[in-house]
């Protein structure tokens, strides 16, 4: 019997509710006739840890989770702690420390979800957005001079390295190749960003030669937003820089339905370190502690975690259970206009799993 070691980091706000729900669901999946089991270790890092210790996680925190098979992460954010501390002190520290350079966000309209895209006409979508997660516009390079003076200057330098672009392109082409349509859209802005994005385009052409069976095209990021709304079925896998994909993936989540549903994975494709899976929503302090959080984003993240561990059958079983419960409006939480509670949704998924 295989044992997967999973680090659970609930973090802040509703992360503390949805991550335990995710653990319950994974546990039920393993108990139901699988040939693997999970060993969970929880880490109480985040805003509470910061108040007690002056930092979001201990200095040797990465060492503590380095040997894990995967990380299940809730959310980092606290209205009483500045964003740059909560963001850089935990989540990004893990992403950078473990070189999780590919951020992967699948987007689909699940059954029963009143997705805004559907209101634009008869449309559907099935996308995976690959976000470059280690450099680009969020490299943190830049500065300010002459603050407050009319001659003040401020710069944010986007850093793209050929090696960094090659590895994310290769990852995206490989992912596109693994999907039925074998189709990739390389999102660019080389008409205006005339250095880094030109290299980005060049690398796309070079890497595409390694994947002759993948159909690919290039789209400007601005045109891509319109295409996502007007011709969503013309897109399948997309790859974009850190900033561009940040924006496109929020649009994708909004078009497909609620913030409470969507999952993401921060992947180290070389598997040198554990990868991290998390719902895309934040800490949502307005509803925390009330049992109202939608756990579906976490459950879907667990599907991605299972796929990453090489358990596609278990992943498919869980995804099917998730789709059965989203199809039932009685099991919709408040973000979907329903009355269900976190515990109701969790129990319903577990009972579907037990009946399969
Ligand atoms: P952060 O600052 O960490 O991003 P946030 O409070 O801005 O956290 P978001 O995740 O950005 O929270 O969500 C915005 C709002 O959407 C929340 O205030 C909440 O009302 C709602 N929401 C988000 N996630 C969920 C969820 N899983 N279930 C129900 N409602 C949610
Ligand atoms: Mg937010």
- Phi and psi based region of residue 291 (left: phi greater than 0; alpha: psi -120 to 50; beta: remaining): left
| Ligand 1 nearest-atom number relative to CA 282 | 10
Q: Write the residue with the smallest CA distance to atom 25 of ligand 1.
A: 260
Strand partners, 185: 217, 238
Give dist(CA 53, CA 8) in Å, integer.
Answer: 20
What is the pLDDT, as a whole number, of residue 119?
86
DSSP state of 338: -
Ligand 2 centroid vs 352 CA: distance in angstroms?
31
For residue 231, report the phi and psi dihedrals to the nearest 5 degrees.
-135, 60
The answer to whether residue 273 scores a pLDDT higher than 90 is yes
- Phi and psi based region of residue 216 (left: phi greater than 0; alpha: psi -120 to 50; beta: remaining): beta
Q: Write the residue with the smallest CA distance to atom 3 of ligand 1.
A: 282
Ligand 1 centroid vs 19 CA: distance in angstroms?
15
Ligand 2 centroid vs 293 CA: distance in angstroms?
14
**Ion ligand 2, residue ranges at CB < 5 A:** 282
Ligand 2 centroid vs 106 CA: distance in angstroms?
19
Residue 229, judged by CB atoms within 10 A of its CB (0-12, 13-18, 19+), counts as: middle
Rounded to the nearest integer, the mean pLDDT of the chain is: 96
Pocket test for ligand 1, best of 46, 50, 80, 259 (most atoms within 8 A of CB): 259
Is the pTM higher than 0.80? The answer reads yes
Give dist(CA 75, CA 86) in Å, integer.
Answer: 10
Mean pLDDT calculated for residue range 228-236: 96
Give dist(CA 26, CA 46) in Å, integer.
Answer: 23
What is the pLDDT, as a whole number, of residue 302?
98
Give dist(CA 106, CA 102) in Å, integer.
Answer: 13
Q: How far, in Å, are 229, 256, 288, 340, 341 from residue 115 at the CA level?
A: 12, 5, 24, 19, 21
Ligand 1 centroid vs 279 CA: distance in angstroms?
11
Residue 128, judged by CB atoms within 10 A of its CB (0-12, 13-18, 19+), counts as: buried
DSSP string, 234-263: G--EEEE-HHHHHHHHHHHHHHHS-TTT-E
For residue 37, report the phi and psi dihedrals to the nearest 5 degrees.
-140, 170
| Ligand 1 nearest-atom number relative to CA 79 | 2
Give dist(CA 303, CA 267) in Å, integer.
Answer: 14
Give dist(CA 82, CA 198) in Å, integer.
Answer: 36
Q: Write the residue with the smallest CA distance to atom 8 of ligand 1.
A: 282
Ligand 2 centroid vs 89 CA: distance in angstroms?
17
Convert the pLDDT of each residue in 105-164 to its tens digit: 999 999 999 999 988 888 889 999 999 999 999 888 999 999 999 999 999 999 999 999
Q: Write the residue with the smallest CA distance to atom 6 of ligand 1.
A: 284
Q: Write the residue with the smallest CA distance to atom 14 of ligand 1.
A: 284
Give dist(CA 243, CA 245) in Å, integer.
Answer: 5
Mean pLDDT calculated for residue range 181-200: 97
* Pocket around ligand 1 at a 6 A CB cut-off: 14, 75, 77, 259-260, 281-287, 293-294, 297, 333-335
Convert the pLDDT of each residue in 43-56 to its tens digit: 999 999 999 999 99
Give dist(CA 191, CA 244) in Å, integer.
Answer: 14
């Amino acid at each position: 019997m295989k044992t997967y070691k999973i680090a659970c980091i609930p973090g802040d706000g509703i992360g503390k509710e949805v991550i335990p729900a995710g653990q319950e669901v994974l546990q039920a999946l393993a108990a139901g006739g699988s040939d693997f089991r999970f060993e969970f270790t929880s880490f109480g890092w985040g805003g509470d840890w910061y108040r007690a210790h002056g930092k979001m996680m201990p200095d040797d925190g990465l060492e503590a989770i380095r040997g894990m098979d995967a990380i299940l992460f809730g959310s980092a954010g606290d209205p009483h702690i500045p964003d740059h501390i909560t963001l850089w002190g935990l989540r990004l520290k893990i992403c950078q420390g473990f070189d999780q350079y590919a951020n992967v966000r699948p987007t689909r309209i699940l059954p029963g979800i009143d997705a805004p895209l559907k209101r634009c006409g008869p449309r559907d979508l099935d996308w995976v957005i690959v976000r470059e997660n280690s450099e680009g516009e969020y490299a943190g390079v830049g500065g300010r001079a002459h603050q407050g003076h009319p001659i003040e200057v401020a710069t944010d330098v986007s850093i793209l390295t050929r090696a960094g672009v090659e590895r994310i392109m290769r990852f995206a082409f490989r992912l596109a190749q693994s999907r039925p349509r074998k189709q990739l859209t390389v999102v660019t802005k080389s008409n205006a960003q005339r250095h880094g994005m030109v290299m980005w385009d060049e690398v796309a052409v070079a890497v595409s030669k390694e994947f002759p069976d993948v159909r690919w095209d290039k789209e400007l990021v601005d045109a891509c937003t319109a295409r996502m709304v007007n011709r969503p079925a013309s897109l399948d896998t997309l790859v974009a820089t850190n900033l561009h994909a940040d924006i496109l993936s929020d649009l994708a989540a909004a078009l497909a339905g609620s913030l409470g549903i969507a999952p993401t994975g921060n992947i180290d494709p070389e598997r040198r370190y554990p990868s991290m899976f998390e719902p895309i929503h934040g800490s949502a302090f307005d509803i925390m502690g009330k049992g109202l959080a939608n756990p579906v984003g976490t459950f879907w993240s667990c599907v991605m975690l299972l796929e990453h561990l090489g358990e596609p059958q278990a992943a498919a079983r869980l995804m099917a259970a998730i789709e059965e419960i989203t199809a039932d409006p009685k099991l919709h939480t408040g973000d979907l206009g329903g009355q269900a509670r976190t515990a109701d949704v969790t129990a319903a998924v577990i009972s579907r799993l037990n009946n399969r």
